[in-house]
A and B are shown apart, each in its own frame.
Chain A
Amino acid sequence: MLIDDSEVDRAVYRRYLQTDAEYQYTFVEAETGEEALELYAQCQPDIILLDYLLPDFDGLEWLVQWQRQYKNFCSLIVLTGQGDENIAVQFIKNGAADYFVKDRITPEKLKLAIGKEIALKKLQLEKQDLFAKLISRNEKLERSNRLYQAEIAQRDKLSKIIANVPVVIYAKYVDATSKQPGKLWLVNQEFQQIFKIAEAEAIGKTDRELFPPHIADDFAANDRLLIASKQPITTEEEVYHADGTLHTYLSFKFPLFSEGEITSIVGMATDITPEKQAQTELLQSETRFRQTFEQAAVGIAHVAPDGKWLRVNQKLCQIVGYTKEELLSITFQDITHPEDLHTDLEYVRQILAGAISTYSMEKRYIRKDEAYIWINLTVSLVSDSNDEPDYFIAVIEDISDRKALEASLQKSWQRLSNLHQIDKAILAAVKPQAIAETVIKDIQNLLTCQRASIVTFDWERETSTILATQGVKDDVLNNGLQVSLDIWQGIIDRLENEDKQGYITAHLSQLPKSSEMAIALENTKLDCFFAFPLNSQDNLLGILKLWFEEPETITTEELTMLEEISSQLAIALEQARLYKQTQNYALELEAKVAQRTAQIEEINQELKAFTYTISHDLKAPLRAIQGFASALQEDYGDNLDDLGQEYAARLISSAWQMTQLIEDLLAYSRLCRIEIQLKSVDLEVIVHRAIEQLQLEIERTQANIILVEPLSSMIGNKTILLQIVSNLLSNAIKFVPPKVQPQIRIGTEIIMDSAETKIRLWVEDNGIGIDREHQKRIFQVFERLHGNEAYPGTGIGLAIVKKSMERLGGRFGVESNPGKGSRFWIEGRQR
């Protein structure tokens, strides 16, 4: 770049330099400093020739400005018109390469200066280049070093990981020639810990040296597989821990290659014993469940919400008689009894709606063999994770046995009930015909028989009576018909010889042809009949016959029932017979009783008439004797001598005695007839009254009477008791030896006799006493032991006492010894 305001100067410099043989120049020229600064940026010259004096700058100023503006400035040579040392020095100091004075400049000098500057420039460039190369090399080195460091750190980490991971890691060599696994060259800490082998001990050893032979063999087998396939393998291996427990490891083994050949096997193993155990347990549990499902004694099934069988067990197959495959292709609806289906589906609807969580019902399945079977079904619903119905668990229990039992119980009950009904009906009926009709009606309610008939036999008169017959079609014979016993003889003989079953079967042809029945029955289509004997205590009272169109349809059950009915019927008929007999007896008895009663009534009437006659008719002549004797004494006394007087007196006294006799007899007879009202009577009152009545006699005989008071009360009748006591007391006064003062004691005592408390009143005397042999006689009417002259009396007194006590429900007795007095007593209830 030529920076000079002088065209001339610039041409000079151009010329000078164009002569240079060594370099070729390109010129850029600027007249002002401003222009020069701009151009510099554009062309970047290698060297600048600067005039000191410029129109707008002095050279020094421009230099400073240029240096400030551009960093990598080039060599600069200053050219000036006047030489000045100071300026030159200032330029050099500020970086100018050289300083020339225009006047003294030559082409050589200029060329040299520029050549020097170019060479310098070249050197500078070379140095710069070398320096850059050095830096680059250095950076490379540094990078490489950093990588290396990182790699080392990585390795360290890996080693630590390998050492510390809770996984067993090991590596072993593979023998290049034998292709067999060899010595270990790596074991991590887990390995060492588990097997309690230090790294130093393990390294360099083979598996056989470290583990029991069978374990090592298993390892080797796996290793050889890997070696052969050159592929990683995952396998389970078992090994003993140091504590002696056998563990299962999930082992991952992979090969390390060198130039295509396996050199090592690296293994990584995880202890999966717990998982393995859990798995085993799960398996066992599953097995158990499966076994439970499969071998349960009840049918179990999983059923889809739509009814399709999903899983069924063997028992269910047995119950319904289908194979598993068959069942799984149908639904439960297919094999449910139509009558039970509705209920079941209703339950299903409810359980699906969430209304119920489970249900149980008894229902019937239709087996493959088309028989139906009663089962008890219990169903619950299993929902999936979305709470949507997944499947039903159904438990199916075969209850056919129970149902059969129930049915049989029901049947038995029904039978008993029927029998009971029949019993009741039989018992309600009294007449044999009514009984028979009832039974036939009931039988026809119980079973289908075309014809039923009950016949009774009269063995004495050799006849039989058809009590009742009823047929479905028409009544052939009238009830109550009497037929000869002969026609039944065949059946009777067979029944008597039959001892295996309680009936016989017979056919129409077995009846005598002549019999009316056979003829009548020939019109019907009935042929076979059953005959049941009506036995009562070994007597065949008759038979029950039942005709069936289809006798083979009769069940054993029905036959048993009919046998029972037959025996009931026999009992009832026998009872009816006995009842009638009893009734007849009763009627006879009643008639007899009525007859007797009438007789007794008649006798009673006669007796009444008799006593009336006595009281009236006997008294009348007495009155006459007495009256006329008195008339004689009074009206004709003067005409009678002493003897006549005595006769008259005797007539009067005899009449009086007779009167007494009659009065006593009437009293006695009255006692027998009248109704007596019983109540408690105070005996003290009675005794006192009796003493009063006999006062005259007592005074006459000077009798001494002692009452042992207090005297009790007795159940009786006042009047009658007074008569009794009066009689006893009067006897006691009367029957004493002549000239003896009567000593009489009267008292009562309580007698505890069995259940009742009784009162005994006794009258003791010092009288003549009674011989034991006579003691009974004195209680009979007219029995007298003494002559009338010695002890006058009617001989009825004690009989009256005895009869009275009988009427009062009491007793009368005497204890006596001749000469020692007597003790008469009466005994009655206290209350």
Chain B
Amino acid sequence: MTNVMNHESMPILLVEDNYNDVLLIQRAFRKAGIKPPMSIVSDGDEAIAYLSRQGQYVDTERFPIPLLVLLDLKLPRRSGLEVLAWIRQQPELRRLLVVVLTSSQENSDLAQAYDLGANSYLVKPVEFQDFVKLIELIDAYWFKTNQIPQFFAT
């Protein structure tokens, strides 16, 4: 058991279609001083292709297997919730940590996300400072406090 992990060994998959948000999230990570390997896909289908190692995503060097998925709900093609549902249907992925990161405060989204097996549901703050704080909290909680399950039994 390792309490403190090297950020190099904690790849994150960011599923986010809004490039503004991608930039802001990356900046927030920078501001928080956290530099994990971060793969970015911009729609639901891409996310599924990435996770199921299809096409270019066969290359695990370039596209490491993520420890945590930051999942937006409002996505082109397959929605975030559909991706979540898909993940939980895959035996080898069902323990994958999925944190929903969305601008939706709708109760229905929240409830559905948890029903489908989201590990956490976070609302994107409008103010950037708050965003930075949120990223710090994610790091502190998910990478530094939380015990990561061994979901890849290979």
Contacts and interface: CB of A to CB of B under 8 A. Distances in A.
A627 B20 contact: yes
A627 B105 contact: no
Given A623-B126, A626-B128, A659-B126, A615 B106 contact: yes
Given A619-B103, A619-B124, A627 B24 contact: yes
Interface string A600-634: 00000000000110011101111110111011000
Given A620-B20, A621-B20, A626 B126 contact: yes
Given A619-B124, A620-B20, A655-B126, A627 B27 contact: yes
A616 B24 contact: no
Contact of A623 (B73, B103, B106, B129): B103
B21 interface: yes
Contacts of B102: 616
Nearest to A626: B126
B105 A666 contact: yes
A655 B130 CA distance: 14
A322 interface: no
Q: Point out which of A620, A624, A631, A659 has the most chain B C-beta atoms below 10 A from its C-beta.
A: A620
Contact of A616 (B20, B103, B125, B127): B103
A630 B20 contact: no
B122 to A, nearest CB: 13
Interface string A49-92: 00000000000000000000000000000000000000000000
Contacts of B74: 612, 616-617
A659 B126 CA distance: 8
Interface string B15-28: 00010110110010
Contacts of B73: 616
B104 interface: yes
A622 B104 contact: no
B104 A623 contact: no
Interface in A649-677: 655-656, 659, 666
Given A623-B124, A656-B126, A615 B104 contact: yes
A624 B104 CA distance: 16
Contacts of A617: 74
B131 interface: yes
Q: Point out which of A611, A616, A621, A627 has the most chain B C-beta atoms below 10 A from its C-beta.
A: A627
Interface in B103-124: 103-106, 124
Contacts of A615: 103-106
A463 B74 CA distance: 66
B18 A612 contact: no
A626 B104 contact: no
On chain B, which size bracket covers the interface? 20 to 34
A619 B124 CA distance: 9
Given A631-B27, A655-B126, A659-B126, A623 B21 contact: yes
B47 to A, nearest CB: 18
A659 B123 CA distance: 14
A185 B125 CA distance: 170
Q: Point out which of A616, A631, A655, A666 has the most chain B C-beta atoms below 10 A from its C-beta.
A: A616
A738 B83 CA distance: 54
A615 B126 CA distance: 12
B121 to A, nearest CB: 14
B143 to A, nearest CB: 23
Interface string B122-146: 0011111101000000000000000
B131 A627 contact: yes
Nearest to A630: B128
Interface in A626-649: 626-628, 630-631
A624 B24 CA distance: 7
A176 to B, nearest CB: 162
Interface string A453-496: 00000000000000000000000000000000000000000000
B20 A612 contact: no
Q: Point out which of A621, A630, A659, A666 has the most chain B C-beta atoms below 10 A from its C-beta.
A: A630
A666 B109 CA distance: 14
Interface string B59-98: 0000000000000011000000000000000000000000
Nearest to B105: A615
A342 B111 CA distance: 93
Contacts of B124: 619-620, 623
A620 B18 contact: yes
Contact of A620 (B103, B128, B129): B103
Nearest to B124: A623
A408 B42 CA distance: 97
A655 B105 CA distance: 18
A491 B46 CA distance: 86
Contacts of A616: 73-74, 102-104
A628 B22 CA distance: 12
A655 B21 CA distance: 15
Nearest to A629: B128
Interface in B21-41: 21, 23-24, 27
Contacts of A624: 18, 20-21, 24
B104 A612 contact: yes
B102 to A, nearest CB: 7
Q: Point out which of B20, B74, B102, B128 has the most chain A C-beta atoms below 10 A from its C-beta.
A: B128
A804 B111 CA distance: 24
B135 to A, nearest CB: 12
Nearest to A619: B103
Contacts of A619: 103, 124, 126
Given A626-B127, A631-B128, A620 B104 contact: no
A742 B74 CA distance: 44
Contacts of B21: 620, 623-624
B129 A630 contact: yes
A623 B20 contact: yes
Nearest to A621: B20
B25 to A, nearest CB: 9
B75 to A, nearest CB: 11
Nearest to B24: A627
Q: Point out which of A612, A623, A626, A659 has the most chain B C-beta atoms below 10 A from its C-beta.
A: A623
Contacts of B125: 623
A622 B126 contact: yes
Contacts of A630: 127-129
Contacts of B131: 623, 627
Given A617-B74, A659-B126, A623 B105 contact: no
Nearest to A624: B20
A706 B78 CA distance: 55
B152 to A, nearest CB: 33
Interface of B: 18, 20-21, 23-24, 27, 73-74, 102-106, 124-129, 131
Interface of A: 611-612, 615-617, 619-624, 626-628, 630-631, 655-656, 659, 666
* Nearest 8 interchain pairs by C-beta: A624-B20, A630-B128, A627-B24, A619-B103, A627-B128, A616-B74, A659-B126, A616-B103
10 contacts: A615-B103, A616-B73, A619-B126, A620-B20, A620-B21, A623-B126, A624-B24, A626-B126, A628-B23, A630-B129
Given A623-B21, A624-B24, 20 more contacts: A615-B104, A615-B105, A616-B102, A620-B21, A620-B124, A621-B20, A622-B126, A623-B103, A623-B124, A623-B131, A624-B21, A627-B20, A627-B23, A627-B24, A627-B128, A627-B131, A628-B20, A656-B127, A659-B126, A666-B105
